[in-house]
Every structure is written in C-alpha cells, then in structure tokens.
Amino acid sequence: MTSASVLPTSSAAEAVVPNPVCFVVALDPPDLAEHLFGRDLESLKVPGATRLNSRPISAFDDDESRAALARADVLITGWGAPALSDDHLNAAPNLKFVLHAGGQAGGLLPPSARDRGIHVSNAGWVNAIPVAEFTLAMIILANKQAFQAQRLYRDRQGYIDREVEFPAAGNVGKTIGVVGASRIGRIVIERLGDLDVDVLVYDPYLSSADAAKLGGRQVGLVELMASSDVVTLHPPLNSSTVHLIGATELSAMRDGATLINTSRGLVVDQGALVTELRTGRIQAILDVTHPEVLPADDELYALPNVFLTPHIAGSMGAEIRRMGEQVGSELERITRGEPLAFPEALR
C-alpha cells in the first residue's frame, strides 16, 4: 500500500468521532415509542446520542420533563406529541432539531421556531409509501369490481359467470384520476405507470409539463371527475380543500365509477357523497371520514356500495418501525454533522 492511499489521521478521526448530542422523546401514548423504535428504543441507540428521559414524555408540565427539555439538543416526536409553546422554547436554549415520526411537525411548534434556527425533519415520505400501496391495491380491486363480486357471491352462494356479471371489469385501458400531486399522489402516479391505464391529474399548483413528467395529464377537476373510472384523493387539508369534492364534482362521475379517499374526511362533502351513494350509481372506498370515527348509526356503515376502513392506509404494524428507523437515521446524521435527509420547511 502506498502512502498516497492512506487517509490523513485527522480526517479519519473526524469521520468516526460523533458530535455528542442529548435528545428527548415526546409521544402520546408513550407505548407508541416501542412500536416506532423497537424494544428499549434500539433505533435511537446512535453513537454520540444520549437519551435524557427513560420514558417518553406526554406533556411538558412537570419538573422532570421541563428539566430534560432544558438540556436537549434534539426533540423526537410522533403522533400525539405535546405541542411546544414559546415558553417551552425559551426554557430549551440548546434545542436545535425536532425529528418527527409523522407527516408534518410544524403544527407542534410556534411560529418563532424558524427564527430560533430550529431544524425540523419528518417521516412524511416514509409514511406516504403504505398509503400509496393501499391506494394502488384499492384501484386495482375497484377496477376488477372485486367488491361487487364479493357481495354478489355472498348473496348468491352459487356459480358466478364473470363475463356475464362483470363484462367491464379489469384495469386495461381504464382511466385513473389523481386529485393532488402530493407526496402520496406522486408515488401513486409513479406506481400506476406499471399498469395499462391512463392517468389524469388535478393540482392547481402543478404545471402541465410537470404532470407529464410524472406520468399523467393535467386537467380541470370536473373534467377529471367525469372522465375517470377511479378517482383517488390526495390533497392536503387546508381552507382551499375543505369540501373540494362536492355535489357538482360527485354528480359528474361516471356511472359505476369509484371514489377513493385516503386523504382527510373534510376534503369531501360527506352529505353530498351519501346522497350520491344512495342512488347506487357510484362506489366509494373510504379510509377517512368526518368525524374520524362515525356515529354508530351512520349510513356509511350500511350502504352496500361503500368499502369503509378505520384509517389503516398509513403506517401501521410493521410499517411503523420503518418511520422510527428514518428518525434514527436522521439522529445519526446530526451526530455526524451532516444535513438532515428529510428537512421540513417551517412557515
């Protein structure tokens, strides 16, 4: 080995010696931490990183929690994490990073967080993967008319002639409408590229050229609703998307078309949707509703053309651990002095 192939001693040391950081885990319920990070939070056992609290914090109201936060360089959060106020941040002079095992962390922080130089990372892209997978599965099953076939088979309990009962079934040549080129929407569009389908996209912030690069064609919302065999919803929930899908849009849907909602319940005018579903003209696959848990007597439970699930599209079970591993990876990047891989821009 020549001397030219040997790294300088100082560079080698810098490559392996981590920057020491202290972190706090805040989650509610606290037991969620083991689902995310493994037993004894093994995904967070990063060289140079010291955990300050033995059990995840669910509120910053007691002396022990406040004392831990006061020493923390990094705060690790997830679903149900307590929000931080300016008073909390005033008492946490070392806090420079918030790593969130969820879609968006900004809602947990006051507006001053950006000016304080706090850097934020979230697991939104990781959580988008199972939602997109669920959506793709539902698109395929909807076009195969699997839900109608299941009901018919259950009721008839006898031979089903597929070509007589479901002559239009199948995915070949179908049109899929994707509302919202969000993280999830983009993954859905990408994975639809493996199917022999046409893809329409509606997103007011997406150009026609960018839609084409993704693999779809940008159209207006009503045109998308009227032209699609399956419409899948992926916009963020904000003031401009509440009841984005209302009576006009629903009435434009083709007979036999399917609406899939894995976004948020309020994106759809639920009253208008129930009215349309009562006709039996369209199908709906709903993983989200408003309210999130429907009253026991809600009509959506009983309508035969509705496939209703309890918000399972996002990370669950084994998928949750993947989010925790991303947070652990971000924590390791901090100890190495590297930029965050999945930064979130605070507003």
CB atoms within 10 A of CB 239: 5
Please tell me the distance from the alpha carbon of residue 129 to that of residue 78, in angstroms, as a whole number: 17
- Note whether 139 and 232 are within 8 A (CB): yes
Look-up of token digits 């805040």? 26
64 tagged catalytic: no
281-302 burial code (b ≥16 CB/10 A, e <16): ebbbbbbbbeeeebeeeeebee
Q: Of 88, 119, 264, 333, which residue is the catalytic one?
A: 264
CA atoms within 13 A on the CB side of 118: 31
Catalytic residue among 217, 243, 311, 322: 311
**Residue 304 neighbours by CB under 8 Å, 6+ apart:** 151, 280
Q: Which residues contact 258 (CB under 8 A, 6 or more apart)?
A: 142, 143, 229, 230, 231, 282, 283, 284, 285
- pTM score over 0.85: yes
Question: Of 14, 42, 64, 292, which one is the catalytic site residue?
Answer: 292
What gap in Å lies between CA 313 and CA 324, rounded to an integer? 18
**Phi, psi of 31, rounded to the nearest 5 degrees:** -65, -15
Q: 292 an active-site residue?
A: yes
Tens-of-pLDDT digits for all 347 residues of the chain? 333 333 333 344 445 567 899 999 999 998 899 999 999 999 999 999 999 998 999 998 889 999 999 999 999 999 889 999 999 999 999 999 999 999 889 889 999 999 999 999 999 999 999 999 999 999 999 999 999 999 999 999 999 999 999 999 999 999 999 999 999 999 999 999 999 999 999 999 999 999 999 999 999 999 999 999 999 999 999 999 999 999 999 999 999 999 999 999 999 999 999 999 999 999 999 999 999 999 999 999 999 999 999 999 999 988 999 999 999 999 999 999 999 999 999 98
Characterise 214 by phi-psi region: left (phi > 0), alpha (psi -120 to 50), beta (else): alpha
Amino acid occupying residue 304: P
- For residue 5, how many other CB atoms are within 10 A of its CB? 6
Active site residue 264: yes
Instruction: Kindly indicate whether the domain formed by 3-122+318-344 is annotated with CATH number 2.60.40.3080.
Output: no
CB 229 within 8 A of CB 254: yes
Pinpoint the residues of the chain covered by CATH 3.40.50.720.
3-122+318-344, 127-308
Phi, psi angles (nearest 5°) of residue 206: -115, 130
The domain defined by 127-308 folds into Rossmann fold (3.40.50)
